[in-house]
């Protein structure tokens, strides 16, 4: 790009700083070379600059020389000035370079405190590299840039997501080494010396680019970090998020794709509180015990041994430790973390060399405790082992009296005996054991604090499994989704605090198995979707029921929903995918109903819906895929209706069938997609409230038919 003046390392040459006019001219040249391949970058993004226009140039320039009096993160009180945050794509890089010039219309964007850049490598515009070098060379000297986020999407990832079939994707050849060098190395290098940064996020980068962030500054020559021999200046950085892509190195070969040894020291990061590091390979993570670290998140494609984290137990403020795909060999050190509140070991594997210290004696033999010693963590409140399939024994956590939440989703090795004793924990509030091998549940009724119990997909949970749970005095949420439970009638005799009950997908459950739940005094949310129930009128006795979900209940009697007209507090009724329904009109008498959906009731006609317009509070009405042929019955009613869908209602064939909806005083959204419709829609333009009308798939409509809608400002795409 002729006319751009940069030093070899991409920084500004102070003797040749471009003004905005010259830079804009260079960018325009690049765009002219790109003619026919898309509009200039400026046309893709516009930002209002009136606020800056009203400022005096002297005041604006002085702001860049003063540390901001407010903090971007943390708690703050009193009125705060609103900083400028930009969310850009690769198409906006030339525009950003232009606006960063001191005499540009934006005054150099000196108010910029947050910059979020999302880049798809295959869509980079001409001249992007020089423009981005200019940007980072300017930004590294800013004293008020607090957040920098760069997300890079490789072309290979775009191809895997099917974008190659998009006719609008314009593929431009780019040198991989240049892309990685500019977006990766240059960005990281500039960020390392942007002292005010409080949040730095580099996603989709390569190991070589971010390695200087994690080098051992005490043993490596500083010249490897910076040509001036100065270590990184990130004394204010509080949050660091790094995601290293897997695959080839900068040169295109199968070079290093991992970070190997990672060093995080207080001399470089004296204020760091959150570290998120996702890399294909991590061997060892060396953590300085002088760090202020509160959260540590490590994800490694190649298993990282827990013992490789030795030293984290010395961190005085570490509250959250999150490992994914790690190798569990010796976790006892986690039990020595003085402030640890949350331990997340997701999709981890057991080491074949699991320490013998994890074997504890028991009557008649020995027992392996895979997480032996962790229970000693004095403040541990959350233990999450989701997708860690090989863990089979958690009885030692019955001694961890501070535990409040245990999540064991998809832990296939967990059975009822694995969690024996947890019911005695004095503060245990949540126990999630979805898709495990648990069967017995009655002992959890004695838990003194248990409020949430989730057992979705546990096929060994049968009728006998829930017997005794009615004695759970504090249980507020019970999820038995897709289990083999055939009755929950016993719950009606207890569970006085139960507010949410999910029985969706319980294929052995019928009406008889539900008798008694209407006696639950606090029940507010009930899901019976995809069950074999035939009637629900008895649920009108659930005096506190506010939400009922019946999707996919294909055996409901034709008029069964009308029995809910006397439910005093029912606000949401979702019965989509129930083809047997023929009458629902009496639900208009339901005193509190706000949301009603019967999409897919193929036999439901306008006569069967008539009466619903009496609902004084109905705001959402979904009649998609029904046999409704007209909406005239809504006229004069539905005074609160905001959303109406008649999508794919095959019997609505003329615009006359829709007439009347324009009189609904609150209607904002009308979904009339996939209708075999003919006729002009001018009458809809007279509505005082309509904002969105979607008629996608209405092939019978012409441009003239919808012209009045367009002219009235009604949008054709529902957000």
Share of the chain above pLDDT 70, in %: 80
Give percent above pLDDT 90 in the chain.
65
Judged against a pLDDT cut of 50, whether residue 169 lies above it is answered with: no
- Both tokens of 625, joined, read 């895929």
- 468 closest CA partner among 499, 485, 493: 493
Express each pLDDT in 645-668 by its tens digit: 999 999 999 999 999 999 999 999
Beta carbons of 574 and 527 less than 8 angstroms apart: no
Residue bearing tokens 């019928």 = 510
* pLDDT tens per residue, range 680-694: 999 999 999 999 999
Q: Strands (DSSP E) along 303-434, which ranges?
A: 320-324, 327-328, 342-346, 349-350, 359-362, 365-368, 382-384, 405-407, 430-432
| Rounded distance between C-alpha atoms, residue 153 and residue 266, angstroms | 31
Answer for the pair 232, 225: CB distance below 8 angstroms, yes or no.
yes
Reported as a pLDDT band with limits 50, 70 and 90, residue 228 is very low
Q: For residue 708, give the H/E element and its range.
A: helix 703-712
Give the 3-state secondary structure of residue 707: helix
| 221-230, 348-357, 440-449: least confident range | 221-230
Is the torsion defined by CA of 599, 602, 607, 608 positive or negative?
A: negative
Provide the residue count of the chain.
719
- Provide the pLDDT confidence category of residue 311 given band limits of 50, 70 and 90: very high
Give the Cα separation of 414 and 391 in Å (integer): 7
Output the CA–CA distances (angstroms, integers) from residue 286 to 44, 265, 282, 313, in the order listed: 45, 8, 11, 12
Contact 238, 273 (CB under 8 A): yes
Q: Check pLDDT > 70 for residue 220.
A: no
pLDDT reported for residue 476:
97
How far out from the chain centre does Cα 507 lie? 31
Identify the pLDDT of residue 505: 97
Q: Where are the beta strands (DSSP E) in 4-80?
A: none
Please report which confidence band the pLDDT of residue 481 belongs to, taking 50, 70 and 90 as the band edges. Answer: very high
Three-class secondary structure assignment of 144-190:
CCCEEEEEEECHHHHHHCCHHHCCCCCCCCCCHHHHHHHHHHHHHHH
Q: Mind listing the pLDDT tens digit for each residue in 116-138?
A: 999 998 889 988 999 999 999 99
Task: Report how far residue 394's alpha carbon sits from residue 211's, in angstroms, rounded to the nearest whole number.
Answer: 38
Integer-rounded Cα Rg, in Å, for the chain is 31
The per-residue pLDDT for 590 is 96
| Tens-place pLDDT, residues 573-623 | 999 999 999 999 999 999 999 999 999 999 999 999 999 999 999 999 999
Tell me the three state secondary structure of residue 49: coil
State residue 253's pLDDT score: 36
CA 18 from centre of chain: 41
User: Chain centroid to CA 460: how far?
Assistant: 31
CA within 13 Å, CB half, 182: 21
Question: Which pLDDT band holds residue 364 (cuts at 50, 70, 90)?
Answer: low
Contact (CB, 8 A) for 708 and 683:
no
Burial of residue 67 (CB within 10 Å: 0-12, 13-18, 19+) is exposed
Residue 285 has pLDDT above 50, yes or no: yes
CB 597 within 8 A of CB 573: yes
Least confident residue range of 74-88, 374-388, 403-417, 423-437: 74-88
pLDDT average, residue stretch 25-52: 34
Q: Which of 91, 87, 95 is nearest to 121 (CA)?
A: 91
Average pLDDT (365-372) is: 78
* pLDDT interval class at 192 (50, 70, 90): confident
Alpha-carbon span 427 to 415, nearest angstrom: 22
The arithmetic mean of pLDDT across residues 467-482, rounded, is 95
Say what the pLDDT of residue 558 is: 97
**Cα gap 409→419, rounded to integer Å:** 13
């Amino acid at each position: 790009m002729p006319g751009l003046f940069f030093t070899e390392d991409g920084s500004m040459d102070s003797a040749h700083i471009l003004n905005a006019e010259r830079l804009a001219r260079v960018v325009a040249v690049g765009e002219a070379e790109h003619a026919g391949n898309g509009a200039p970058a400026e046309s893709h993004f516009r930002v209002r600059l009136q606020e800056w226009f009203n400022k005096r140039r002297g005041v604006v320039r002085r702001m860049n020389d003063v540390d901001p009096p407010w903090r971007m993160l943390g708690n703050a009180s009193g009125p705060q000035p609103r900083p400028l945050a930009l969310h850009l794509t690769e198409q906006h890089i030339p525009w950003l370079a232009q606006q960063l010039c001191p005499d540009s219309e934006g005054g150099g964007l000196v108010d910029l405190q947050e910059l979020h850049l999302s880049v798809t490598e295959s869509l980079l515009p001409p001249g992007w590299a020089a423009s981005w070098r200019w940007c980072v060379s300017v930004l590294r000297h800013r004293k008020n840039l607090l957040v920098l986020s760069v997300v890079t999407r490789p072309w290979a990832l775009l191809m895997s997501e099917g974008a190659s079939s998009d006719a609008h994707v314009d593929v431009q050849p780019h040198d991989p080494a240049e892309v990685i060098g500019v977006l990766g190395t240059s960005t990281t290098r500039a960020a390392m010396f942007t002292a005010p940064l409080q949040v730095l996020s580099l996603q989709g980068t390569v190991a070589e680019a971010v390695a200087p962030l994690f080098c051992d500054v005490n043993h490596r020559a500083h010249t490897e970090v910076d040509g001036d021999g100065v270590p990184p200046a990130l004394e204010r950085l509080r949050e660091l998020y790094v995601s290293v892509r897997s695959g080839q190195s900068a040169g295109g070969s199968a070079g290093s794709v991992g970070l190997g040894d990672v060093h995080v020291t207080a001399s470089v990061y004296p204020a760091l509180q959150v570290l998120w590091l996702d890399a294909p390979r991590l061997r060892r993570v060396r953590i300085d015990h002088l760090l202020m670290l509160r959260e540590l998140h490590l994800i490694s494609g190649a298993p990282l041994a827990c013992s490789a984290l030795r030293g984290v137990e010395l961190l005085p403020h570490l509250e959250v430790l999150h490992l994914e795909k790690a190798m569990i060999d010796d976790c006892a050190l986690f039990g020595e973390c003085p402030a640890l509140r949350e331990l997340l070991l997701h999709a981890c594997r057991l080491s074949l060399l699991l320490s013998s210290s994890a074997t504890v004696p028991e009557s008649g033999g020995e027992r392996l405790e895979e997480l032996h010693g962790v229970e000693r963590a004095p403040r541990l409140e959350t233990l999450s082992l989701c997708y860690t399939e090989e863990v089979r024994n958690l009885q030692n956590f019955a001694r961890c009296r501070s535990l409040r939440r245990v999540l064991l989703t998809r832990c296939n090795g967990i059975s009822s005996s694995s969690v024996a004793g947890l019911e005695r924990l004095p503060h245990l509030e949540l126990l999630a054991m979805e898709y495990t091998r648990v069967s017995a549940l009655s002992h959890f009724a004695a838990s003194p604090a248990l409020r949430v119990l989730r057992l979705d997909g546990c096929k060994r949970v049968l009728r006998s499994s829930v017997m005794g749970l009615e004695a759970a005095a504090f249980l507020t949420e019970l999820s038995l989704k897709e289990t083999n439970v055939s009755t929950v009638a016993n719950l009606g005799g207890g569970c006085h605090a139960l507010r949410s009950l999910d029985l969706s997908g319980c294929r052995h459950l019928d009406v008889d198995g539900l008798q008694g739940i209407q006696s639950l005094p606090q029940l507010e949310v009930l899901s019976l979707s995809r069950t074999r129930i035939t009637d629900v009128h008895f649920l009108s006795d659930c005096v506190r029921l506010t939400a009922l979900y019946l999707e996919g209940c294909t055996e409901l009697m034709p008029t069964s929903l009308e029995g809910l007209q006397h439910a005093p507090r029912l606000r949401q009724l979702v019965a989509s995918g129930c083809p047997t329904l023929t009458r629902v009109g009496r639900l208009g008498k339901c005193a509190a109903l706000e949301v009603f959906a019967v999409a897919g009731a193929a036999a439901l006609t306008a006569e069967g819906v008539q009466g619903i317009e009496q609902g004084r509070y109905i705001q959402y009405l979904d009649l998609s895929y029904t046999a409704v042929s007209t909406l005239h019955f809504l006229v004069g009613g539905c005074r609160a209706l905001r959303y109406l869908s008649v999508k794919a209602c095959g019997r609505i064939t003329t615009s006359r069938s829709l007439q009347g909806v324009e009189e609904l005083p609150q209607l904002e959204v009308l979904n009339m997609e996939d209708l075999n419709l003919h006729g002009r829609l001018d009458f809809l333009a007279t509505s005082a409230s309509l904002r969105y009308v979607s008629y996608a798939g209405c092939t019978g409509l012409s441009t003239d038919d919808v012209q009045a809608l367009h002219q009235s400002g009604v949008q054709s795409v529902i957000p």
